[in-house]
Amino acid sequence: MTTYREAIREAIAEALTADERVFLMGEDVGAYGGCFAVSLGLLERFGPERIRDTPLSESAFVGAGIGAALGGLRPIVEIMTVNFSLLALDQILNNAATILHMSGGQFNVPLVIRMTTGAGRQLAAQHSHSLEGWYAHIPGLRILAPATVEDAGGMLAPALADPDPVLIFEHGSLYNSTGEPGTGPVDITTAAVRRPGRDVTLIAYGGTLHKALTAADELAAGGIEAEVVDLRVLRPLDEATVIKSIIHTHRAVIVDEGWRSGSLSAEVTARIVERAFYELDAPVERVCSAEVPIPYAHHLEEAALPQVPAIVTAARDVVSS
């Protein structure tokens, strides 16, 4: 058994060992070991040329990562949290995601950006965003959301092998979670059915997957068998796995920590309606975060986020309708 954090650290170490073009850079990734201790000990193992602390300037070091990728290196850029990625949005959207297109296919940007996302840790309104749905809107990017220890470790190598930019969103609540470490690289193109079922499909990703699985256990105790689909890859979405599950269960509940309006859950709902409307026996339900800045107070934060009782209620509603 290992932790989600340790699985990412080992994956970075393996990448650094396997390819001398790979290096890690970001705020406090070196001497401090990373804000969430993901890179702890890597500076001592690989030295300052490959574990590079950066100034507090997301625009600058993401831009430097893009330049390094264009120059033939394979940078892993760590942005402390998704909230700070907004300071590098121009670099990500207008450079990393577009250079291949604007160069007529001449220049790929093989850049990997890792960042923490999500709420649930009493970090208040400015440090609790779930903006991966925003990034999933942008052509030219691949968006990953590992929810298991195996995916946390196994997604990095194929992300580094991708010739185009890959953003990996690590939910902050998962770093201490434990599981089997996996046996190597994993697929980064498809969703995964984490639990089979016949009555309703629960669609989740990242920090909401384990809530969906817990909800499925509670539903099973009441005789409702929920199939749980882990999206894993938020762009490009694996429609086939989602639609196959809907054809099987005829009902869907989407669990998304993002705000409901304009969310990834809205996109998944639209795809289901476009592709499988006549397979549905009930309207698609969504369980999302309340449309408020995430509160600091623990009880209010819990009330604002998708929780297991709300998922169970939504699933029972669609099954009984």
Q: What are the pLDDT digits (tens) for 139-168? A: 999 999 999 999 999 999 999 999 999 999
Tell me which of 6, 27, 78, 127 is the catalytic residue.
Answer: 127
Whole-number percent of the chain with pLDDT over 90: 98
| Tokens of residue 103, six digits | 């160069």
One-letter identity of residue 34: G
Strand segments (E) across 217-319: 226-230, 233-235, 252-259, 285-289
Tell me how far apart the alpha carbons of residues 97 and 108 are, in angstroms, rounded to a whole number.
9
What confidence score (pLDDT) does residue 321 get? Answer: 84
- Stretches where the chain sits below pLDDT 70 are none
Q: What are the pLDDT digits (tens) for 165-182? A: 999 999 999 999 999 988
Q: What are the pLDDT digits (tens) for 18-51? A: 999 999 999 999 999 999 999 999 999 999 999 9
What confidence score (pLDDT) does residue 164 get? Answer: 98
Q: Is 127 a catalytic residue?
A: yes
Phi, psi of 304, deg, nearest 5: -80, -20
What confidence score (pLDDT) does residue 87 get? Answer: 97
What confidence score (pLDDT) does residue 181 get? Answer: 86
Q: How far out from the chain centre does Cα 196 lie?
A: 22
What confidence score (pLDDT) does residue 182 get? Answer: 86
What confidence score (pLDDT) does residue 175 get? Answer: 97
The pTM score is 0.97
Mapped onto helix, strand or coil, the DSSP state of residue 201 is strand
Q: Is 169 exposed, middle or buried (0-12, 13-18, 19+ CB in 10 A)?
A: buried
Domains and CATH numbers, the chain: 2-179 (3.40.50.970), 192-320 (3.40.50.920)
Tell me which of 58, 132, 267, 285 is the catalytic residue.
Answer: 58
Residue 108 CA: distances (Å) to CA of 60, 63, 77: 20, 14, 16
Q: Is 210 a catalytic residue?
A: no
Tell me how far apart the alpha carbons of residues 64 and 76 are, in angstroms, rounded to a whole number.
11
